[in-house]
Amino acid sequence: MKEFEQLVIEEFAEKLSLEDFDNYEGVHTFSLTYQKKRKKLQKKINKQGHLTEWSTNKLAAAAVFMIIVPTTAYGAKTFYEWYVNKNNHELTISLKNEDEKKSAKKYYQLALGDVPKEMELEGNHLNFKNQQSKEGVIFNLWRIRKDVSFQELSTESYEEKSISGHKSMIVKKVEDELDSFNRTVYMVFEKEHILVEASVAKNMSDEALLKILEKVSLKEVEKEKSDYIFDEKDFEKRFADYFDSKEEKIKGLPKNSDNLYQADESINYKVQDKHISFDLNSVEVLDNINAVSDKQGFNQESLNHVKSLEMLDDKGQLKKFKQKEYQSGDGINEVNKVVAEREVQPKFVYLSGTVKNLSNKKITDLYMTGTVAYLEEKNQQFNYIDDKNKMYLPQSQTLNIDYFNAGNKGKNDFITLEPNETVTYQFGFFVDEDKLDKMFLPIVPFDKDHDMMNLDDNRIWMDIRQ
């Protein structure tokens, strides 16, 4: 994944971390309101500065179809016409609108009149309750006061259709193991000047999807209760800088940086009213998670991940799995394809650390260590691994701190310290064996703003390579 694309996805991660949805009885509605950034999501995703290939793919599924390609501006009209251009696997869908009258800006909630009993609404995601793959449909709203165009890559076919009187377009994607979504539906609500976009997962049948879409409606509400409505102007402004700097490279971490520590070095850290020290006591590489005494510290999402991919058996043993090497296509002339396959042994990296509050003030919600990052050495610097448009999936690593146990002094990856208190805690990560010699640990990097394009800017790293 190119660096500017990673930044776009991280920008979406920040937007998604602001969402808070309300559910109502009867007709199911969901509403987005802006609140304070959720600490954990902000610290673990937005300021993390790096996503693994597995987690990037997961976020990309939720973000990729939000990117807009604006066309010539006209005005607003109550009748819209599709214009479609297909170039191999690239499909450009334009929605034209020739009335020069301007409509008042109104706000809406999306209402689902028919939610299957085996599904539940979580925010703007309609998910399956008891399936291994929970993805069903992700909804987004677009304001279409002028012409808009959407670019769909890796497409197989498209069909114009009327769904409950709404002009609609159904786009089918080529079969791709990397993407859990294989259809996108666009529905035009002419009166409201809103385009409803539905990204559809593979495990949702066409029949079930159509039944849901036939009962989709928009409810006019006050601005504060509205779902977030994407606008092409917002995106032109928000991402102009990203797309103007595609060639910008991430600045690496020099081998002699003052921000780089070895595993046996003590870190003394002071920012604002916080003054702490951190020592890494031990790093163990395990083949069986039963060697960890307290199993309650495992992140359930992480366990579900390794179990679903049959990397972990009932006795806690980590098992070899088949990993495929994909050559990324451009989505126009070439699609993603498998070029090799290999066996990979997952490991569990189990660490113990000690943190001490050196101040006379209580410290709450201390996010001491971030998710392990994988860096390679080149030209006397460490930087993210350059896989040259290749992806290796599946992987054992996740976006989480897979294990965290600070006893009664911590919860959900956060630690609380009384004045001058010392706490020893355990944490850990699932890691592919071939990444053990590339592991670096970000230490308390989240109290200061930092340049995401510079690994040496206001960040502390610990070399834990094995």
pLDDT in tens, 153-176: 899 999 999 999 999 999 999 988
What's the pLDDT at 240? 55
SS3 of 461, please?
A: strand
Say whether both 53 and 75 belong to one domain: yes
Averaged over 126-146, what is the pLDDT? 85
- pLDDT tops 50 at residue 31: no
Say whether both 138 and 68 belong to one domain: yes
Per the DSSP assignment, residues forming a β-bridge with 382 are 253, 377
The closest alpha carbon to 218, from 363, 111, 328, 70, belongs to 111
pLDDT band, residue 399 (cuts 50/70/90): confident
- pLDDT tops 60 at residue 322: yes
Last residue of a domain, one of 215, 244, 273: 244
Q: Is the bond leading into 346 cis (omega within 30 degrees of zero)?
A: no
Say whether both 169 and 284 belong to one domain: no
What's the pLDDT at 163? 96
* DSSP secondary structure code for residue 117 in this structure: T
Residue predicted with more confidence, 362 or 37: 362
- pLDDT tops 60 at residue 29: no
Whether the model pTM is above 0.75: no
User: Are residues 111 and 27 in contact, defined by beta-carbon separation less than 8 angstroms?
Assistant: yes
**Number of domains the chain is built from:** 2
339 CB-side CA count, 13 A: 11
Say whether both 384 and 456 belong to one domain: yes
Say whether both 208 and 267 belong to one domain: no
pLDDT band, residue 265 (cuts 50/70/90): very high
What's the pLDDT at 102? 61
pLDDT band, residue 329 (cuts 50/70/90): confident
Which H helix or E strand runs over 241? helix 232-244
pLDDT band, residue 78 (cuts 50/70/90): very low
What's the pLDDT at 302? 95
Averaged over 165-193, what is the pLDDT? 91
By DSSP bridging, strand 137-143 and strand 229-230 are parallel
User: Are residues 260 and 463 in contact, defined by beta-carbon separation less than 8 angstroms?
Assistant: yes
What's the pLDDT at 38? 34
- CATH number of the domain encompassing residue 316: 2.60.40
| Residue for token pair 């366990």 | 303
Say whether both 284 and 219 belong to one domain: no
pLDDT band, residue 245 (cuts 50/70/90): very low
Last residue of a domain, one of 244, 270, 300: 244
* DSSP secondary structure code for residue 294 in this structure: -
Averaged over 371-384, what is the pLDDT? 93
Last residue of a domain, one of 214, 244, 274: 244
- Torsion angle in degrees (nearest 10) through CA of 60, 66, 67, 73: 180
Provide the residue range defining the domain that includes 440.
253-463
- pLDDT tops 60 at residue 301: yes
302 φ, ψ (degrees, to nearest 5):
-65, -45
pLDDT in tens, 403-445: 999 998 988 889 999 999 999 999 999 999 999 999 999 986 5
Say whether both 260 and 339 belong to one domain: yes
Q: Where are the alpha helices (DSSP H) in 251-395?
A: 300-308
Percent of the chain with pLDDT over 70: 76
Say whether both 302 and 372 belong to one domain: yes
pLDDT band, residue 328 (cuts 50/70/90): confident
Say whether both 64 and 137 belong to one domain: yes
Averaged over 166-195, what is the pLDDT? 91
User: Are residues 82 and 167 in contact, defined by beta-carbon separation less than 8 angstroms?
Assistant: yes
* DSSP secondary structure code for residue 44 in this structure: I
Poorest-pLDDT segment among 216-225, 240-249, 353-362, 425-434 = 240-249
What's the pLDDT at 46? 37
pLDDT in tens, 2-16: 444 444 444 444 444
End-to-end CA distance of the chain: 26
Say whether both 57 and 138 belong to one domain: yes
Counting runs of H as helices and runs of E as strands, what totals does the chain give?
A: 6, 31
User: Are residues 113 and 216 in contact, defined by beta-carbon separation less than 8 angstroms?
Assistant: yes
* Summary mean pLDDT of the chain: 80
User: Are residues 208 and 228 in contact, defined by beta-carbon separation less than 8 angstroms?
Assistant: no
Residue predicted with more confidence, 408 or 26: 408
Pairwise CA distance, residues 184 & 203, whole Å: 14
pLDDT band, residue 151 (cuts 50/70/90): confident
Poorest-pLDDT segment among 238-247, 266-275, 385-394 = 238-247
Q: Is the C-alpha dihedral spanning 405, 410, 416, 419 positive or negative?
A: negative
What's the pLDDT at 159? 93
What's the pLDDT at 37? 32
Say whether both 300 and 169 belong to one domain: no
pLDDT band, residue 246 (cuts 50/70/90): low
Residues contacting residue 408 through CB under 8 Å, at least 6 positions apart? none
SS3 of 41, please?
A: helix
Pairwise CA distance, residues 331 & 78, whole Å: 33
Say whether both 107 and 213 belong to one domain: yes
Averaged over 338-363, what is the pLDDT? 95
